[in-house]
Amino acid sequence: MHGKASGQDCAITIVVLAKDEERCIARCLDSVVGHGFDILVIDTGSEDATGRIVAAYADRGVRLRRIPWPNSFAKARNFAFDLVNEGWIVFLDADEWLTERAAIELPSRLASASSIEGSSRRVFAPKIVDEGSGKSDDAIPRIFLAENSIRFRGPVHEYPVVAGNPDTRVGLACLDVEFRHDGYRPAIAQAKGKLKRNLGLLRIALANEPDNPRWLYFIVRDGFVTLGREHLVEACTRLRELASAGVHTADLLSARDYRALTLPVACQALIALGDLRTVYRYCDELDEIEADNPDAHYLRSMADLSTGTVTAQHLSRTVRLRKDDVLMARSTLDPAGGHLDALIVVLLRRFRGKSDAERYLGLCEPWTDMFFDRSEPRTT
């Protein structure tokens, strides 16, 4: 592949992994054709119309390669490195797309990235915006120079490493370009069986690498609504052990980081299971990791609400935390503070009255999680 986008000296190849994506593959391809990119679709065993849809784009420069599903997203992505040996590789999932502006800006953004020292051992993350919630993530590595030894590891929630023995950590930088995404809307994820698929692959990953904290975190994050108390506590306990031992992998995050990410997720499920004693203990652990943790306060407050033990002091402390941008930036549940906004509305209703609560609610973005549906408390 030797195509070059307009104004770009270095070739850019858009790589799309697809399996049974007839719902959205055309949207994905329409967003990138006509902009001078090489486009490669790797179909990993589609049984629907995905292959036929992609084949119809052949005269617009889209190449299709079919491979059996290798039971690993890392292996599927790494297959692309065998096919593209120059320029930039940009991984765009089938349920994602570029806006017209992003497609136009991408070549100049990559030209700037090429000038960054050490770019051959660095990966770049676009801003991926979830179309349903409006939330975004700018830490998912998707963009690489082909002429390097970076490869993916892990069957799902895969991550890049500099391949070798042992593997070494890559550098990560943000790229100012926006991808749009809608594949994790509940109805779509359920229809494709993503939860069952992910948990199965994660258990394989954990069996192969029992000391890798990444797999413990994602098992809890993806499966917390289905995991029982025993499994949640076992995962959190193991993460504490790995963090204390200073276990290192080639991942960008440490065992300590993954422990801090996992505890708030586990607490949500434990509140629903009624194990408030463990919730309070884990919240104390979060505050030990970093004092005045806003997620610890949120989860303690939700536990207290379930027992009817909240006081006006909960409201004043929630407001104080919500106003502190430095503390809010440490939140893993929502650095934008949506969960605290929803909590403030509940506490205002209880201690100040309905009018104050409704007034504040009108200033906030809706928040949805296990406890709230668009900032309204769930009844179950």
The whole-number pLDDT of residue 242 equals: 97
What pLDDT was estimated at residue 121?
A: 78
61 φ, ψ to 5°? Answer: 90, 15
Q: Which of 188, 206, 227 is the last residue of a domain?
A: 188
Q: Do 200 and 105 fall within a single domain?
A: no
Whether residue 269 sits in one domain with residue 244? yes
Total number of domains constituting the chain: 2
- Do residues 320 and 237 share a domain? yes
- Could you tell me which of 64, 312, 293, 272 has the C-alpha nearest to residue 282? 293
Domain assignment of residue 3, yes or no: no
- Which residues does the chain have with pLDDT short of 50? 1-2, 6-7
Give yes or no: residues 138 and 162 share one domain: yes
- Residues spanned by the domain of 204: 192-377
Residue 277 inside a domain? The answer is yes
Give the end of a domain, one of 158, 188, 218: 188
Out of 144, 166, 188, pick the residue that ends a domain.
Answer: 188
Q: What's residue 6's pLDDT?
A: 44
Helix axes 255-273, 229-245, angle to 10 degrees: 160
Query: What CATH number corresponds to the domain at position 317?
Result: 1.25.40.10
Q: Are residues 258 and 369 located together in one domain of the fold? A: yes
- The per-residue pLDDT for 1 is 44
153 and 24 both lie in a single domain: yes
**Residue 5 placed within a domain:** no
In a domain, 356, yes or no: yes
User: Looking at the structure, do residues 131 and 18 belong to the same domain, yes or no?
Assistant: yes
129: β partners? 136, 180
Residues 117 and 72 in one domain: yes
State pLDDT tens for residues 158-186.
999 988 877 888 999 999 999 999 876 66
Instruction: For residues 233 and 29, give the distance between their C-alpha atoms in angstroms, rounded to a whole number.
Output: 43
Residues in a beta bridge with 88 = 12, 145
Instruction: Answer yes or no: do 175 and 234 share one domain.
Output: no
Q: Are residues 204 and 269 in the same domain?
A: yes
**Domain annotation covers residue 71:** yes
1 part of a folded domain: no
pTM (two decimals): 0.90
**C-alpha closest to that of 301 among 243, 346, 252:** 346
Q: Are residues 62 and 92 in the same domain?
A: yes
- 38/147 same-domain check: yes
User: What is the C-alpha to C-alpha distance for residues 119 and 115, in angstroms, rounded to an integer?
Assistant: 8
Which tokens is 192 given? Answer: 């494709």
> What tens digit of pLDDT does each residue of 64-88 get?
999 999 999 999 999 999 999 899 9
In a domain, 28, yes or no: yes
Tokens 């001078």 -> residue? 36
Q: Are 124 and 91 in contact (CB under 8 A)?
A: no
pLDDT score, position 189 = 63
Residue 179, domain CATH? 3.90.550.10
- Decide if 311 is inside a domain: yes
Helices 194-208, 213-223: crossing angle, 10 deg rounding: 160
